[in-house]
Structure 1
């Protein structure tokens, strides 16, 4: 296994017993000896859109939504994970960065967890690409490595297209396709060589 999975995908195996993670694709935002943190990128919250967040955080009135581009107004919100589900995160292209609140994951992707990025997106001054999520996934030191060893997750190189462009319902199959496999070929049983 790599030293760090930061900037990679975790793809749930059929043997995943925790149904909160069944058939999920998680983008790893941080991974080190102290633990790991990531966001689920293939599950959306039903009936919640960007304009709802703007209203909730009082970041603009209805007149602002008229100016806001339709693709921004209709932007959906993802279920980032089961931890702190009332806390928002924006996974985005690295063309947007604030010194005090953005975490640069790699040259292409950053993470920001302040309302300033929402305001910037609404005004057309935010990142070119973005994925909004409520909640996140986390693992304590060594926990993720144990789950991978127990055949709970596959690791897959991340692609920007899969994070930001691919249709959400197809992201699980698309992540598997990055490894040249499909769901039908996955076995819930683990083997050891």
Structure 2
């Protein structure tokens, strides 16, 4: 939460073309938590080198669900890249779930993956390794500096669209065409 009491949780943070950070360039990040200590989110449009099947196998979890096994694990961010995060819908909570808002949850416990492997998991889910974090006031300053565009979260961007389309579609949800957006911006 910033000094004006704004909470950016359950919003998509879209990297503007002017953001030249190689890790976050053209990224879309769901802000999962935003409070007086800073912000935390998970990138939702960058594939990792792993599939969910490989992660399940590494964890010793068996699954016959071919579609689940083939699902790409996302590179969620540079913080804790060894740690798994499951972003999902549904009313059921797991051992370690954070209520993101809008019916979305972020779970870091093994039980959600075990349920997914049995076909008893949430209706919609994505698996990511790592997350992104911002210190106190850092995200707010980056927004002022025109590094990011902030838009309300959309389930289709998170779960349905191909990864390559999520950056433009997220911005398009509020009428912004990033492909025609100037690569620099300024303040009058």
TM-score, normalising length from structure 2? 0.93
Instruction: Output the CA distance in 2 between the equivalents of 1:84 and 1:152.
Output: 23
Instruction: Output the CA distance in 2 between the equivalents of 1:14 and 1:107.
Output: 28
Kindly report the root-mean-square deviation, in angstroms, between the aligned alpha carbons of the 2 structures: 1.4
- Counterpart selection for 1:86 from 71, 82, 87: 82
SS of 1:189's partner is coil
- Counterpart selection for 1:50 from 52, 60, 79: 52
Q: Structure 1 runs of 4+ off > 3 angstroms?
A: none
Instruction: Output the CA distance in 1 between the equivalents of 2:91 and 2:176.
Output: 33
Query: Shift in Å at residue 28 of structure 1?
Result: 0.5
Q: Deviations over 1:81-129 (max 9, x none)?
A: 001100000000033312x411111141001001111111000111000
**1:167 alignment counterpart:** 162
Instruction: Output the CA distance in 2 between the equivalents of 1:136 and 1:121.
Output: 21
- Counterpart selection for 1:29 from 6, 28, 32: 32
- Counterpart selection for 2:141 from 139, 146, 162: 146
SS of 2:60's partner is coil
- Preserved contact between residue 9 and residue 28 of structure 1 (Cα < 8 Å): yes
- Preserved contact between residue 168 and residue 179 of structure 2 (Cα < 8 Å): no
5+ residue gaps, structure 2, are: none
TM-score, normalising length from structure 1? 0.91
Instruction: Output the CA distance in 2 between the equivalents of 1:120 and 1:184.
Output: 40
Instruction: Output the CA distance in 2 between the equivalents of 1:96 and 1:125.
Output: 11
Q: Deviations over 1:2-60 (max 9, x none)?
A: 701100000001111211000000000001121000000000113x1111111111122
- Preserved contact between residue 40 and residue 79 of structure 1 (Cα < 8 Å): yes
5+ residue gaps, structure 1, are: none
Alignment: residue pair count = 185
